[in-house]
Amino acid sequence: MESSSDEEEVRTFIQVLSEKYSPENFPYGQGVVVMPSPPGSPVKDRLYLPNILVLSDSGIGKAGERSDIAAFCAHVVELDLSHNQLNDWAEICDIVSNIPNLDFLNLSMNPLSGIELEPSMAEVFPRVRQLVLINTHVSWETVHKLTQNAPELEELFLCLNGYNTVSESQTSCPSLRLLQITDNQLEAWAEVRKFGQMYPSLRTLVLANNSVDSVGDSHDALQQLFPNLRSINLNNSGLSRWEDIERLNFFPKLEEVKAKGIPLLESYTTHDRRSLLLAQLPSVKRLNGSLVTTGEREDAERLFIRYYQENPQQQLPERYHVLVSKYGELAPLAEVDLRPRRTTVDVRWGDRVEAVALRLEQTVGDLKKHLRALLQLPANGVRLFYINREMSSVVGPEEMRCGSRALHSYSIRDGDEILVVPKVKSRCGSSNVFLRRPSPQPPSPPHLPPSPNTDLRSS
């Protein structure tokens, strides 16, 4: 009785379909109107069915009435059954066989581990072009039966299935264009190369988040195994040698490479990682998701030459000699020190002249504090004027007003002068002003001692 109760609790495909797409849930008639169902059917009088059905995470364990599926799903082209309780290929095949135009099928996250597909059942997949079996732990034997009976299959998704080996099929699948097998435990290239044998028309191979540690075939072998491969994703794989990157050039039609998070590149800067990869892959048009421009490629190849040119001759990679024949021997780039430099200026305070070394990353405020301690300046404040030694007769002194301004922004050079004067109040108010000369050539004010190298004319 307990098993009978459990049996009654299993939801069917057709029950979930009728609930989700009933007129109550689609009051405005969205989708395709399906006329009254056959007598005795649990389906509502009318269903508003789109041609893309999403029935994920709905507790589906069985197909339900086959005639209802055929009546209501004749126009359906995409079906998402992920995250359900389907654990019997017979039930899945009952659903698929009654949807004659099915193009896309997603069975991800259904418990299919250890559940084998009978060869006769596999014949119901002839029109499927995209098949998603993520985290189903479906066996390779079942995968092979599906690919052998799906002559139009173009895209196959086998992620998160715990594969550490690949079982070969005696029959190839010449229609397959994309294989995504991320997040498994594949390590040896000997397993990966089997995909080339089974899927000779493969254009995109996504191996991300496996531990593939090499690209271990010869030039001729890779050309024959993957003659049509245009894109390969090796993100977070175990590649640790530049020789494996060089072998990617043996794929005759390869245009796109993804190789982030590999041990080989851990010790390089972000810029050098991309540049050195790009220089090694002359035919690649897209690297790590970004288009490669002509200018970027040339910069990368020149960087590659300079990166290796100090190495002993016997340690130079073959690519280095190819690029030297293209660009010639390049002179090392000059090292430019962009750190703020130090300079020495004459600081004038009254009759005193002190040679003071300045750190040009300091601000004007920092300089005032330094001079106050060095020259014992009064606490009530001073004003600073920068005098360019070469231009003083033309532009005059420039007051250093802003305390937060960096000294290097004044373009101070050795031998220039800093004039220190006390702040004074004007007769008209409390504002601190610098006494201006009333005529073009007046005598120097008494609080500004004359200097042969200074000119205090107002600009």
Within this chain, do residues 348 and 319 fall inside the same structural domain, yes or no? no
Within this chain, do residues 322 and 361 fall inside the same structural domain, yes or no? no
Phi then psi for 306, rounded to 5 degrees? -65, -30
CATH code, domain with 317 = 3.80.10.10
Within this chain, do residues 277 and 387 fall inside the same structural domain, yes or no? no
Q: Give the closest residue to 181 by CA, choosing from 196, 190, 192.
A: 192
Is residue 1 included in any domain, yes or no? no
Choosing from 298, 327, 356, the residue where a domain stops is: 327
Contact 343, 360 (CB under 8 A): yes
Residue 458 has pLDDT above 90, yes or no: no
Is residue 70 included in any domain, yes or no? yes
Give percent of the chain with pLDDT exceeding 90: 60
| Average pLDDT rounded to a whole number, residues 407-421 | 88
Residues 148-194: pLDDT tens digits? 999 999 999 999 999 999 999 989 999 999 999 999 999 999 999 99
Contact 456, 397 (CB under 8 A): yes
The pLDDT of residue 239: 97
**Could you give the 3-state DSSP secondary structure of residue 365?**
helix
Within this chain, do residues 145 and 23 fall inside the same structural domain, yes or no? yes
Domain containing 221 equals 9-327
**Given pLDDT bands bounded at 50, 70 and 90, which one contains residue 365?**
confident
Tell me the torsion sign for CA atoms 160, 162, 164, 169: negative
Choosing from 278, 307, 327, the residue where a domain stops is: 327
The pLDDT of residue 10: 82
Residue 432 has pLDDT above 50, yes or no: no
Q: How far apart are CA 129 and CA 201, in angstroms?
A: 14
**Given pLDDT bands bounded at 50, 70 and 90, which one contains residue 443?**
very low
Mean pLDDT of the chain: 85
At residue 424, what is the residue type? V
Within this chain, do residues 354 and 453 fall inside the same structural domain, yes or no? yes
Is residue 332 included in any domain, yes or no? no
Within this chain, do residues 80 and 50 fall inside the same structural domain, yes or no? yes
Residues 223-235: pLDDT tens digits? 999 999 999 999 9
Q: How far apart are CA 95 and CA 64, in angstroms?
A: 8
Within this chain, do residues 55 and 151 fall inside the same structural domain, yes or no? yes
Within this chain, do residues 266 and 285 fall inside the same structural domain, yes or no? yes
**Given pLDDT bands bounded at 50, 70 and 90, which one contains residue 333?**
low
Residue 24 has pLDDT above 70, yes or no: no
Is residue 224 included in any domain, yes or no? yes
Is residue 2 included in any domain, yes or no? no
Contact 14, 64 (CB under 8 A): yes
Prediction pTM value: 0.70
Total domain count, the chain: 2
Is residue 3 included in any domain, yes or no? no
Within this chain, do residues 61 and 128 fall inside the same structural domain, yes or no? yes
Within this chain, do residues 344 and 310 fall inside the same structural domain, yes or no? no
Within this chain, do residues 120 and 238 fall inside the same structural domain, yes or no? yes
Is residue 77 included in any domain, yes or no? yes
Residue 41 has pLDDT above 80, yes or no: no
Within this chain, do residues 234 and 345 fall inside the same structural domain, yes or no? no
Phi-psi domain of 184 (left: phi exceeds 0; alpha: psi -120 through 50; beta: other): beta
97-100-103-108 Cα dihedral, nearest 10 degrees: -20
Choosing from 276, 305, 327, the residue where a domain stops is: 327
